[in-house]
Structure 1
């Protein structure tokens, strides 16, 4: 049985995404978890490229792999935390978790394999960046601007809270 290059790339990207997610859950240091999360985000961006959604892939790289990861690292650096590992999970709990994951995988596989994929090809993949831009800046301009204001307020609030904690720490010493 011959596999196409697209299929092999899909398998590689899917395995990297799954491995990154598993590593993120299994690692004990927070910075290592963030690096594993970056691997997951980048491989998902590669999957978007395979789906001819280049704009979404670029946004995935810029927003998730870049901005969200940096915000997570800043949050880790600005907060006080103990880098403790969680107590080990008992074997029977691990078995239940593994059985749940396998059951979920079987249900998803059966649902996807029975999915009818007939239909006409659409032109959504042609000039998708232009289509998204037109929709974003015409139909959805108000929610877009409100989201930017909300993110700005959240950033200012985080800086104010971080400065208050620093001042309280200095006053207590």
Structure 2
């Protein structure tokens, strides 16, 4: 076991743990912290894969932007009157067993699959090459995604204005 495998194991456990905590948290603020924790762990995994650009984008866009969006969500929603029940229901046990089984199956497939990488076929994804591909080959989907985000933003503003009146 080398240091890279150990770092990957720790970061993946943190990412999965943050996601599970996000799903089971009772308060929105705890959810936002767990989500940011998950995104930072994923950025660490990107760094281990030598994808520095993706790690920085992960932190800037997701850990920064989504966390700020969650905080705005906290400010715009009313707190719940009653506390959620903390009993562990039977459907949660079924979900836990299903996820554990799925995890075992995926890990078995991953460890039994031979990974063949031809020598000399390494490609480096620089910011210049990613930008070139994005704006030459995928310009229309990029613009459609930006229009979709703009429409979602306008819709959120309209919904927030209706609640104030």
Describe the shift of the 1:20–1:84 C-alpha distance in structure 2 as closer, same or farther (beyond 3 A): farther
Which residue number corresponds to residue 98 of structure 1?
96
TM (norm. structure 1) is 0.84
Q: How far is 1:32 from its partner?
A: 0.8
Gap change, CA 1:91 and 1:74, over 3 Å in 2: closer
Alignment: residue pair count = 164
User: Which segment is superposed worse, 80-89 or 128-137?
Assistant: 80-89
CA distance, structure 2, for counterparts of residue 138 and residue 25 of structure 1: 39
Gaps of 5+ in 1: 168-173
Post-superposition Cα deviations, 1:2-43, rounded to whole Å, max 9, x if no partner, equal x32211211221121122122212321111111011000110
Stretch of structure 1 that moved more, 93-102 or 128-137? 93-102
Work out which structure has the larger RCO, using CA pairs closer than 8 Å and 6 or more positions apart in sequence. 1
CA shift in 2, pair 1:90/1:39, >3 Å: closer
Larger Rg: 1
Structure 1 residues 63 and 156: CA distance shift in structure 2, 3 A: same
Q: Which residue of 2 aligns with 1:114?
A: 112
Q: Which residue of 2 aligns with 1:11?
A: 9
- CA RMSD between the two structures: 2.0
